[in-house]
A and B are shown apart, each in its own frame.
Chain A
Amino acid sequence: MMSPLQVIFILVSAITLGAALMVVTTRNMVRAALWLVLALFGVAILFVLLEAGFFAVAQVIIYIGAIAILMIFAIMLTRRIAQDPGPQINSTWPLAAVIALAIFGLIVLFIQGWDKTMSTPPALPDGFAPLSDLGVALVSANQYLIPFEVASILLLAALIGAIIIAWDRK
């Protein structure tokens, strides 16, 4: 008998995977982007199930709020007509499908050969505050200060790079 949490998980993951499949197969690019929004939202729900509320919120804000919207804009900017005529899939797609399936199979094989896969999550202690711990970890010099700063420099570089690349010099 499945617990309610398990039911929720199966429902959400089925919807997410279905949406993801639509993202990679649908012909109309705008619809594909909207399916992507749905898939990303499903992942956000999984984050909630994993008791990582911060990441659920960040997922919604960054992925759905920024990235997906950015993509929709890019699609609209790069289409001459509202339709996407002709097939949107390469002729080599069967090979791509085989590769993707093979990798999936490999990963499943590796998961099976590992003994911790059936473990259940340990209970979080009372008063455990992962968000403040994360904040401390990111700015402590003996923990992850340097990766954090490198990430910030990466973001800055991407910002400048995007502006330079997309600049219309005419």
Chain B
Amino acid sequence: MIPLSWYLIFAAALFSIGLFGVLSRKNAVAILMGVELMLNAVNVNLIAFWRYLSFETMAGQVFAVIVFAVAASEVAVGLALVISVYRRRQSIVADDINLLKY
């Protein structure tokens, strides 16, 4: 059988890749993609813990459901922001969006 640690290490790797995407990509949509990868890593963790440690209580699954909802909301609002910014500034490069500069 598959040990729990395999899932955890897989999730950690997926999380780190997503994080790298978030930190390094220029395109705002690509940043959102990185965020999605990170959220997926979390979901893998939640489901794995549920299956391995406490499948009687549904806490892990319920949290995964809520992560789904958060991910959907985040993408909806995030993409709306991207489109809105693009409409005003003709660019979605994250570095160009620096109104809060000193």
Enumerate chain A interface residues (CB-CB to B < 8 A). 3, 5-6, 9, 13, 16-17, 20-21, 23-24, 29, 32-33, 36, 39-40, 43, 46-47, 49-52, 54-55, 58-59, 62-63, 66-67, 70-71, 74-75, 77-78, 80, 84, 87-90, 92-93, 95-97, 99-101, 103-104, 107-108, 111, 116-122, 124, 128, 130, 133-134, 137-138, 143-144, 147-148, 151-152, 154-155, 157-159, 161-163, 165-166, 168
Contact = CB atoms under 8 A, between A and B. Distances in A.
B42 to A, nearest CB: 11
Nearest to B8: A111
Interface of B: 1-10, 12-21, 23-27, 29-30, 32-34, 36-37, 40, 43-44, 47-48, 50-53, 55, 58, 61-62, 64-66, 68-77, 79-84, 86-87, 90, 92, 95
Contacts of A108: 9, 12
Contact of A71 (B9, B16, B33, B70): B33
A27 to B, nearest CB: 10
A66 B10 CA distance: 24
Contacts of A70: 75-76, 79
Contact of A107 (B15, B25, B62): B15
A168 B2 CA distance: 51
A49 B2 contact: yes
Contacts of A163: 80
Given A32-B30, A62-B72, A74-B83, A104 B16 contact: yes
A8 B102 CA distance: 52
A36 B75 CA distance: 14
B57 to A, nearest CB: 8
A147 B51 CA distance: 21
Contact of B25 (A24, A116, A122, A162): A24
B44 to A, nearest CB: 6
Contact of B4 (A33, A117, A165): A117
Q: Which of B30, B51, B84 counts the most chain A CB atoms within 10 A? A: B30
5 contacts: A54-B61, A104-B13, A119-B52, A128-B55, A134-B61
A130 B58 contact: yes
Nearest to B68: A62
The 3 A-B residue pairs with the shortest CB-CB distance in the complex, in nearest-first order: A24-B21, A158-B73, A96-B23
